[in-house]
Structures are given as structure tokens and as C-alpha cells.
Amino acid sequence: MTSQNFDHLLEIDRPLAVLASHAERYFVDDANTALIKTRQFAERLAHLIAENAGVTLEGDPTFSDTLRVIRRDSLAPSEILDVLHRLRIEGNSAVHGHEGERRLAFEAVKLCHRLGVWLRASVSRNPKLSMAFVPPKLATDDSEELKAQVEDLKQRLREKSVESARIAQAIEAAKTEALNAEERARLAEEERQVYAELAEEAELRAVPPADPESAKTFIQAAFASAKDMEFDEADTRILIDEQLRLAGWDVDTTELKYSKGVRPEKNRNMAIAEWPTASGPADYALFIGRTLVGLVEAKRQRLNVSAALDTQATRYSQDIQADSSFDFAGGPWGAHKAPFIFATNGRGYYPAIKTQSGIWFRDTRIETNAARPLEGWFTPKGLEERLEVDTAAAESALADKPFNFGFELRPYQQLAIKAVEKGVASGQREMLVAMATGTGKTKLAIAMIYRLLEAKRFLRVCFVVDRSALGEQAESAFETTRMVGSRTFAEIFGLRGLEDQDIDRDAKIHICTVQSLVKRVLERDPADRPPVDQYDLILIDECHRGYLLDKEMSDAEMSFRDQNDYVSKYRRVVEYFDAVKVGLTATPALHTAEIFGEPIYRYSYREAVIDGWLIDHEPPHLITTALSAAGITIDAGEEIDVLDPRTGQIDTAKLPDQMNFSVEHFNRKVRAPKFNQVIAEELARRIDIMSPNAGKTLIFATTNDHADEVVNCLRDAYRAEGLDIRDEMIQKITGTVDKPLKQILKFKNEADPRIVVTVDLLTTGIDVPSITNLVFLRRVNSRILYDQMIGRATRRCDEIGKEAFQIYDAVDLYPNLQSMTEMKPVVVNPKVTFEDLFDGFEASDDAAHQEEILDQIIVKLSRKIKRMNEDIRQQYEAQTGETPEETLDRFRKEKPADVQQWTKARPGLGKFFDFEGDRNPPRIIPIYKGDDQVIDVSRGYGEGDKPDDFIDAFQAFVRDNANQIDALRLVVTRPRDLTRGSLRELRLALDSQNFTENALRTAWRDKTNDDIAASIIGFIRQAALGDPLIPYSDRVDAAIKRVANAHKLDDLQRKWLTQIGKEMTSKVVIDREAFDSPPFSQQGGYKRMNKIFKGELDTILDEIRTETWEPAA
């Protein structure tokens, strides 16, 4: 074969070069066959992309399957995928007998050349590589447009160099002859050889996958090379045509153009090329029927897109002239006559080169609307819907709209909604709302969405969750929450849940998981993907999950694109839609703020405790044993029992080296049964499980096996205390038990179990308000994870009189929290062991985190299983019941959560794959049988170890700041003047120093053995003035009694005076603002209360506050 356009591919892949050169040769007189060959070329190239990127394609994947993998895993830029998709579709049409057009065949051959140069640049890691396309001579009856395109290419060749000019002249002089029989036979024989090679390759699978470093540099080069691809204006138009066509527009730059007499028609959605304006033709005018809805400026690939929107597209919108052939969509809007303007160069959108990529768009109807990039084109229906949104009217309606629902919103929820609405009105596209676990984010979301939809500010909402269990809960809430009268949210607006993957335009809200969005956006054929305009508002629950940051990229390192380092699938699918994004989270992390911005509203756990919505915990009980303090040391040569985690068999062995373990390794890398036993005995002495109103206990263990051992130790310990307990009272609930969701609901709703030991209960999102004890037997390495674990016990449970919850820490977790950072993604490290990967995978409760680790396991495992010896294989099959290859297939096909359950049920898998013959035998787990005992149980008061230290520090803080903090000065000098707002500020200031009311009460109790609920004001006045500590409820009762005796009150007044006393006992301060909240607001508020007290309510309140803090007689 000889082809000036494709011979350079021979050294990369001979089949690829042959297919391309044959397509070029068939173009002479058989356009249909040429299109078929370009499709085969594209399929082969897609296979090579996957191969070079280190992806093993299992079985016999279709072309479409391969493209789906490349798009899903971001192995190549979107413009490359767009070209491959076009070649696939046109080739399919030719295969099915549709006559191929000469123009389409020419364009396909030309695009194959572009792809070939791009592949060479990527494989050679030379992104600046440039090779001119040498066009074939055309037939005399070819179209004028095609002739003009070829002439333009020849002219560019002439301009490039003298050598190129010589080539062009040679082409001009060449004869175009039809393929004779001999030539066709020669081409057929070449192809037969190619397909024989491909068949042999498929059978042998001899080509090993690319090593990770090579795959990484190929992907990096693939994106860098795409940036410098030689796409001329004709190529760019081909790409844009295809993109518009996929979005539902009738488009063909060559045929559907103004100069050919094409005009808008009823019942057609047309993108008409070269529409005239007073300042030159717009590249496309978009019409829905006869109505002009948009103008598009198309630029060559290398040119800046955002600047083209600001200049040409803006100018066309201002200069387009009225014409009897079409109607305007309203307006004008200032100087603009088109409501929407666009600019594009056909390139996919990349945040790192924001202004040079994507489809830039602006809604011209409001002068202050900012331009923004899109991932894809609006559909005609999408633009039609956007025209219906009257932003100014909607925002005006929201500003005046009261919070009237079938349920009551708490004040902080209303403030959060107002903050979002203010952000929307100011043009913010990404917002973050940070609210503590248990403060009602679902109710907040329902109320917020209802207001925004009812005001017609948004048309369609996607509520994104990261787990099906949370989606089911949210779906139930939307279906049962009554908004107006007896009508639920779902009845008013329509709801599509987790099972409805494709939603109709009539449904206003869709609940979906991240995983389902990934499948819809990244794993579907382009023609079947949802449009970017499907949602205009997206709420993301637990938005701290799944994100990785974009990197600012230089030209030299353009688009380093593995999914771990550049952008996670989670972020890709959410950002795919042109929508306002509101993230909801209880635990904002650094990367969350960098993506969404700093929280526009924050309501912390401490604030929720101070306001009485959540329950505080007392200072943690820090349990220290002899082993946890000193660690475990096993000397070299010592004979001990060892556990083989592959088989569960216990053997005796002498260890060749000394082994040392600290407490964080207990029950993970070394078994410590005596440690578990003495901790269980201490818990049994301290945690009551027999009283009717005793709360429930949740214990966090390290592994599934450890959870089993803790359950047995606890049952034994409680029985040793003389209690007649049933096994049902203490249970394990992990992902490995039968029907875990049912067991969790039983834990929540029934008397038994009373103690639950878990590893992964956090993944369920089920809340159990009656939990009053948390026990940590597992060290965690994330502050976010710790906060989520604490969040399991923060909810109020008035039914059992829950005032605080207890934390028992046996693994030195609490003192280490200060050095903890936010959750970090696992770094891809070729030296990391399988054991570490499996440990991290099984310990993770974060869906995106699980997926990332599982991806690493799959990559390492696909290489490692080829080197496993027969003995290890047999041991593995005996342990798991399947071959390593079947396991790999399972890991690739099943959801990470399902794989996690499977691996947890088969501990020790990592050691099989770390096995390297006799050089590195599988690591066994020692069983340390040495005795242990509890040597100390202290309280976590912060820097001070003893309650006296804590109280002394508090007294010093009060003395030093009595004249610095206004509210503190009021408490000391004029407590009657304290307002709810000033008390709240004071509590937050004290909280920042860890001086919470629960901690002070506990420290005082530990110091004096006297438990006094004196209120934070009482503790401050005791520290500053030496006032005696008296239960606050006693103070209030005495004050109410004295005030009542000082006035002649009727029965109604006495009733409400008593109610004021109850509220004061609960809220500490009652001021005028308090009467705007229940129970007073439900009975007419301040106005009615003042009337009941004959205009003397303020005087009565002042007397109560004064009497409360009179020195005790």
C-alpha cells in the first residue's frame, strides 16, 4: 500500500493504516465502500485508544461498547469521540445499503486523516505534531461545494512549503481511474491479511495491557494532542453539525443555508447556516417553527470561544433584520433581538481551558446575565422552555412569598432557603449549604424546591443522592409531605424516583443516584444521552462526596486526564447539565468549598445544640487498658497462635522477627481477645440496657470478624454482671447479615436489639434517635467520617428523656482528632499492597471512594492474576469458590457496594494477590493471648486531663473576658437584660473554647459528686461572683412563684405565667422575640399575651428575670 495520508500509521498499527488507505482508494468510484472502511478504521482506532490507556476490553465488545468505555473513563477528548461517533453512524448507514454521498465519503476520509495524526501525536507523546491532508482528485460531476473545499485544502498545501506545493501539483496532474478488477483483488487480499492478524490477536490476547505510567502519559498526550489538532473551518462545521443534530435540530451546513433559499418552516426545528445580518452572516440561526430563538458563531478550533460570543455573536443579535420569513421571540431586549446567543469551536468543554472550549452561551434578555460555557447544545424544547421563565417576576414573587406549608419550618431552615434564593437572584450558579446532621436537610430541600417551582423560577429539578437507601427515603418524603391542604409535593409537581431512569418533561422533580447519572450521561450512546437542558436546578445531597479538583494546566501538560487526578465521574455528570447547583452537606471539606464556593449559609452542630434542636454529648469517656497504653510486642522466635485469614484456620508458628502493634492496629493486624474482653466488661458496668427508658448503644468495630467477637464478649460481660439478658438484645448489623435494612429498622423501631455492633451502618443513612451511647473500637482517619459517626446520636428523643449522649473511646481516637484532616482520596501508588487496598475498600463508606479504590484493585489484579502459581490459585478457589478470573469479572460488573459485601464475607483476599512465591508468603494475623486490664477511665475535657483543670480554665476565661465579651458582662452584672440573641452569641463563644454546658456540668459532677443543671448562666455567675450553683429549674420556679404572689392574677394569667416559666426553663431566656415562636405564636403571639396581661407583659417578664437571679435567701 502507498498513501501519503496514512502510511505513517504502519509503524503504529498496520491494520489501521490498511483500512484508512483502502477508504481513500475506494473514494475514487465507490463512496459507499469508502464509508464502510472509514467506520472500520474508527472502530480499530477506538480499540487502540483503550489499549494504550491500559483498559482491557472483555469479551467481544461492539464499537458502541468501546466508545462508551472511552467516554465513561475519560480516556480521550470529547471532540475525538464526536468524530468517532460520526464515522460509526455514517458507516452503519452505508453497511445497510444506503448509498453513500461523495461529499460524506470525502469528509470521512479527511476526518480519518485527522484522527490518524492525532493518534500518532498521542502515541509518540508529541502533541505539536502536524501533517497536512493531501486531498484526492475529484470527479467532474462532484458538487461545487466539494470542489471548493478541495481547492482550499490545496491552497493551504501550497502555502505550507515548496514540497507541499510539489505534491499538490502532482495530485492535480494525476489521473483518476476507477478501480479495476485486479486492483480490487489486491485490496481484498490486503484486508484478508489484516483481518487474519486481528483474529489471531483476539484469540491469543497476547498484547499485555499498558503499564499504569505509560497509560497515564498516553491519556495526557491524547488530550494535549487534541488541543493542537488541525481542524479547519470545514471540519469544525462537520463537528458542530453533528452536535446540533444530536440535540434535535435539522442542520446541514452545506444544504440548509440561507443562500440556497432555505427559510424557517412550521413544525420544524432548523439550524439554518449563514443567516444574513447587517454586519455579516451568522454561522447558524436557530428557529423553532418560524420563531428565531438563537444565533450561533462558529470559530475554528484554535480560536477563543468566549471572545467570539462577546463580539460576533453579540453583534449579530443586535444587527439581525426583521424579515417576513420569520418571527422574533419577543423583545427587543435592550439592543438584542435574539434571546439566546452561542459561540463554539466544536471542542468539548474543559475547565482548565475554559475560554477556548465548550459552547459559550448567554441569555440576552437580562443585561446582567453572565455568559457561561455549556457541555452540549440546548434542544429546541429546552430553549422553548427557557423562554417561558420570567426570572424577574419569579424572584419578585419569592421575595414576597411567606413560608406557608403543611409543616413548620424552623428559623434556620428559612434562613438557609432565603440565602439560596438571594444567591439565585444575584446570578450564582454554584452554592453550598452546610447544615449539621439531623437538622432537617430533606425538609429544607422539599420546602426550597416547592418555593422555586411554584414561583416558576425553575422548571425541572434533579435531587441527587449517593446511595439508593437515601434516595428511597427522599422519595418517600416527597410523596408523603403535605404542602397545601391535603395535597403532597408529588401530587402537585409530579415525581420520578429511582426506578424512573428516563423522565418526561411533565415531571418537575427527579430523584436519582450518582451511579444512575453516570450511566445515563457517560455510558449511553450520544443519541440516547439526556440533553444538557433536562434540569435547570440540581440539589446534591452529601455533596462533599466524590469530588476531586481540577488542575490548572500549562500547554506542556494539557489535560492530565485520569479520573482520579482530573475530575471524578461524580463531578462530570453533575456539571454536564446547564443548571444551578446547590450542594447540601453536614461536613464541608476543603475541596467542596473550592468547587461550590464557601457556604452561603452554615448551621453547625454546636449552633443546633445551643438552639435546642440537637443533643450534645458529655466529655468522652477515655478507656485505657494496659495493652492499649503500651502496645503489643511479640518477640522474635516466640511461639504463638496465628490466624490464616484465607481459610480461617488457626495454627501455631514461631515468628522470625519481632512484631510491634499500637492500639490502632488492634483487631485489624493483630487479634487481641483480652483487650476486647476487658473493654466489654467495662462497658457492661457503665451502660444500662435493662431500664425501660435506657437508650440504645451503637458500637463501631474494625472488621466483620471483630464485630462478631465484640458481640460475644458483651453478652458474656452482661451475664457476668448477673443480668438475665437475651441474645436478641445485643446484635451485629453489618452488610453481611441477612436483610440489613430490615435489621436496622428493627433497631430503630423495636425494643431489641439494645446494643448494635457495626462496621458499615453509616452507609445506610438510617437514623435511630434513641441512641444514647456511642462506642469507638475502631480508629478512623477522617474528621468528616468521625463527624458522621457522631451524628448517629445527635437527634433528640424526648420519649426517653434524652438530654445528652455518651461517647466511649477505647482506641485513643478523641485526642487524635485535632491532627485529622478532611477526607482524602486514595492516591494511586504502584507500591501499595493488595492488602492495604482491600482494607481501605472494606473500611470505606463513601460510594465514590469505594469506586476509586475498586478501580485500582481491578487494574492491579488484571496484571497480577497472570502470574499466580497453581498452588495459590487452588487455595484461592477453596477460599472463595471461584477462580481469580471470575473474581476479576465480578469486580468489573458489580456495583462497588455489592463487591464490598462480597469481600467482607471473605477476609484476607489481599494476601493471596500479594503472594510472590517463597519470597513473600501471605501475611498471617497473630493472636495475642496476653492478659489485659483497664487501668484508667478519664473524661476528654480537652487540654486539661482532670475536671479541676477544666473548671479552673473556665473560671480564668470568665475573669479574663468579663469586660471583653458584652454578653458575658451582662450575665455577670445585669442578667435580666440578657436577650436570646446575646445568650446565643455567648454560648458560641464559650463553645469555641470547648466550654459547653454539658462539659461544665459533667466536670462539676466529677469534682463534687453533685449533679446540678445550673444553666450556662449559673456556671458563669458561680465562676465570676461565687454565686451558689442551684438547679436552674428551681430558680425559675421560685421566681414565678414570687411574681405570681406579687400580683392579683386570674386563672388565664396564671396559666400563661406557668407556661412562660416552662419556656424559660427550657430556653433559659424569654424575651419579646420568644413570643414569635411556638407555643406563643400559635395563640396570637406577643400581641395577645400582652392583652391577657393587660398591657403589662414587659413588666412581668422583667420581674421574672430579676427574681430569677436574686441572691438565694
Tens of pLDDT, residue by residue over 179-196, are 555 665 666 666 666 555
DSSP conformation class of 566: S
**So what's the pLDDT on residue 547?**
36
Percent of the chain whose pLDDT exceeds 90: 36
873 part of a folded domain: no
| Residue range 23-33, pLDDT digits in tens | 888 887 788 88
Of 754, 738, 676, residue with least CA distance to 929: 676
List own/partner pairs for 981-987 with CB under 8 A and 24 or more apart.
Answer: 981/1073, 983/1016, 983/1017, 983/1068, 983/1069, 984/607, 984/610, 984/611, 986/1016, 987/610, 987/1016
Please check the confidence at residue 612 and state whether its pLDDT lies above 60. yes
Instruction: Please state, in angstroms and as integers, the Cα–Cα distance from residue 945 to each residue in 619, 780, 1001, following that order.
Output: 11, 23, 16
Instruction: Please state, in angstroms and as integers, the Cα–Cα distance from residue 786 to each residue in 404, 814, 818, 822, following that order.
Output: 36, 9, 12, 10
Same domain, 1060 and 996: no
Q: How confident is the model at residue 554 (pLDDT cuts 50, 70, 90)?
A: very low
499 part of a folded domain: yes
Q: How many helices (H) and strands (E) does the chain have?
A: 42, 30
pTM to 2 decimals? 0.75
**So what's the pLDDT on residue 828?**
39
Mean pLDDT, rounded, for 746-758: 93
Same domain, 342 and 414: no
Q: For the chain, what is the domain count?
A: 5
Please check the confidence at residue 295 and state whether its pLDDT lies above 80. yes
Please check the confidence at residue 163 and state whether its pLDDT lies above 70. no
Same domain, 953 and 1065: no
Q: How does DSSP assign 124-165, residue by residue?
A: TT-TT------PPPPPTTS-HHHHHHHHHHHHHHHHH-HHHH
**So what's the pLDDT on residue 100?**
54
Distance separating alpha carbons of residues 592 and 862, to the nearest angstrom: 33
Same domain, 193 and 339: no
Mean pLDDT, rounded, for 876-899: 85
Phi first, then psi: what are they for 955, rounded to 5°? -60, -40
Q: Which of 495-499, 502-506, 916-920, 977-981 is the least confident region? A: 916-920
Could you tell me which residue, 95 or 718, shows the higher pLDDT?
718
**So what's the pLDDT on residue 921?**
44
Mean pLDDT, rounded, for 238-255: 93
Mean pLDDT, rounded, for 137-154: 63
Could you tell me which residue, 589 or 878, shows the higher pLDDT?
878
The grid coordinates listed for 629 are: 497504653
Three-class SS state of 378: coil
Please give the residue range of the domain that contains residue 342: 241-388
Please check the confidence at residue 340 and state whether its pLDDT lies above 50. yes
The grid coordinates listed for 888 are: 476479576
The identity of residue 84, as a single letter, is L
Please check the confidence at residue 529 and state whether its pLDDT lies above 70. yes
Same domain, 1094 and 1077: yes
**So what's the pLDDT on residue 301?**
65
Please check the confidence at residue 290 and state whether its pLDDT lies above 90. yes
Please check the confidence at residue 526 and state whether its pLDDT lies above 80. yes
Q: Is 358:262 a contact under the CB 8 Å cutoff?
A: no
732 part of a folded domain: no
Mean pLDDT, rounded, for 368-381: 94
Please check the confidence at residue 604 and state whether its pLDDT lies above 50. yes
Same domain, 308 and 409: no
Q: How confident is the model at residue 498 (pLDDT cuts 50, 70, 90)?
A: confident
Q: How confident is the model at residue 827 (pLDDT cuts 50, 70, 90)?
A: very low
Most confident of 1-10, 528-537, 827-836, 877-886: 528-537
Same domain, 79 and 151: yes
**So what's the pLDDT on residue 826?**
30
Same domain, 487 and 589: yes
Same domain, 285 and 215: no
**So what's the pLDDT on residue 566?**
31
830 part of a folded domain: no
Of 261, 309, 305, residue with least CA distance to 282: 309
Q: Which of 227-241, 834-848, 917-931, 984-998 is the least confident region? A: 917-931
Q: What is the mean pLDDT of the chain?
A: 83
Please check the confidence at residue 561 and state whether its pLDDT lies above 70. no
Q: What is the CATH number of the domain that holds 384?
A: 3.90.1570
Of 719, 787, 714, residue with least CA distance to 753: 714
283 part of a folded domain: yes
The grid coordinates listed for 352 are: 482548565
| Residue range 620-658, pLDDT digits in tens | 999 999 998 888 888 877 878 887 766 667 778 776 777
Distance separating alpha carbons of residues 391 and 529, to the nearest angstrom: 28
Among 227, 260, 284, which residue terminates a domain?
A: 227
Distance separating alpha carbons of residues 521 and 553, to the nearest angstrom: 25
Q: Which of 91-100, 687-696, 1044-1053 is the least confident region? A: 91-100
Distance separating alpha carbons of residues 776 and 992, to the nearest angstrom: 24
Percent of the chain whose pLDDT exceeds 70: 84
Among 1013, 1029, 1045, which residue terminates a domain?
A: 1029
**So what's the pLDDT on residue 548?**
35
Distance separating alpha carbons of residues 85 and 244, to the nearest angstrom: 14
Of 80, 105, 1027, 1013, residue with least CA distance to 526: 80
Most confident of 377-381, 652-656, 810-814, 910-914: 377-381
Q: How confident is the model at residue 590 (pLDDT cuts 50, 70, 90)?
A: low
**So what's the pLDDT on residue 74?**
84
**So what's the pLDDT on residue 858?**
82
689 part of a folded domain: no
Please check the confidence at residue 455 and state whether its pLDDT lies above 90. yes
Q: Is 319:279 a contact under the CB 8 Å cutoff?
A: yes
423 part of a folded domain: yes
**So what's the pLDDT on residue 1054?**
93
The grid coordinates listed for 465 are: 443522592
**So what's the pLDDT on residue 317?**
96
Mean pLDDT, rounded, for 855-859: 78
Three-class SS state of 760: coil
Same domain, 57 and 157: yes
Mean pLDDT, rounded, for 536-561: 51
| Unique residue bearing C-alpha cell 472502511 | 37
Among 584, 603, 622, which residue terminates a domain?
A: 603
Q: How confident is the model at residue 276 (pLDDT cuts 50, 70, 90)?
A: very high
**So what's the pLDDT on residue 485?**
78
Mean pLDDT, rounded, for 692-708: 91
Q: How confident is the model at residue 786 (pLDDT cuts 50, 70, 90)?
A: confident
Could you tell me which residue, 274 or 518, shows the higher pLDDT?
274
**So what's the pLDDT on residue 1094?**
92
Most confident of 45-54, 487-496, 666-675, 964-973: 45-54
**So what's the pLDDT on residue 761?**
64
Could you tell me which residue, 300 or 965, shows the higher pLDDT?
965
Q: How does DSSP assign 589-642, residue by residue?
A: -HHHHHHH-S-SEEE-HHHHHHTTSB-EEPSPEEEEEHHHHH-EEE-TT-EEEE
Same domain, 99 and 155: yes
Same domain, 83 and 102: yes
977 part of a folded domain: yes
